[in-house]
Amino acid sequence: MAHSLSAKKRSRQNLKRRRINRARKSMVKTQVKRFEEAVRESDPAKVEQEYRLAQKKLDKVASTSTMHKRTAARIKSRLARRMNALKAKST
């Protein structure tokens, strides 16, 4: 348990930041799941729309300290590969 005032404040800040970070990561995971669902349905238009939304959310989370920029880039790259493979297969 924190004893000094600054340690107590830091503890409160950490709890608040943890809630925010968990919410952001959950939002990203949900969007990635929606993208994967669209890939399973094999609907290229819906996949592209979900990819754009996932990309937007990943960029937003990476701009804060919640997720590293390169982690977000790696996830976006993997999603793009899946989207392009689906487009190539449907064409």
What tokens does 76 get?
Answer: 């976006």
pLDDT digits (tens, 9 = 90+) for 19-56: 999 999 999 999 999 999 999 999 999 999 999 999 99
pLDDT higher than threshold 80 for residue 91: no
Q: How far apart are CA 26 and CA 72, in angstroms?
A: 14
Question: Maximum CA pair distance of the chain?
Answer: 65
| Contacts of the segment 76-84: beta carbons below 8 A, 24+ positions apart | 79/32, 79/35, 79/51, 79/54, 79/55, 80/51, 82/35, 82/39, 83/39, 83/47, 83/48, 83/51
The pLDDT-based confidence of 59 (bands split at 50, 70, 90) is: very high
pLDDT at site 65: 87
Superfamily name with CATH number, domain 5-90: Ribosomal protein S20 (1.20.58.110)
Task: Please state the domain extents for the chain.
Answer: 5-90
Tokens 């348990």 belong to which residue?
Answer: 1
pTM of the predicted protein model = 0.87
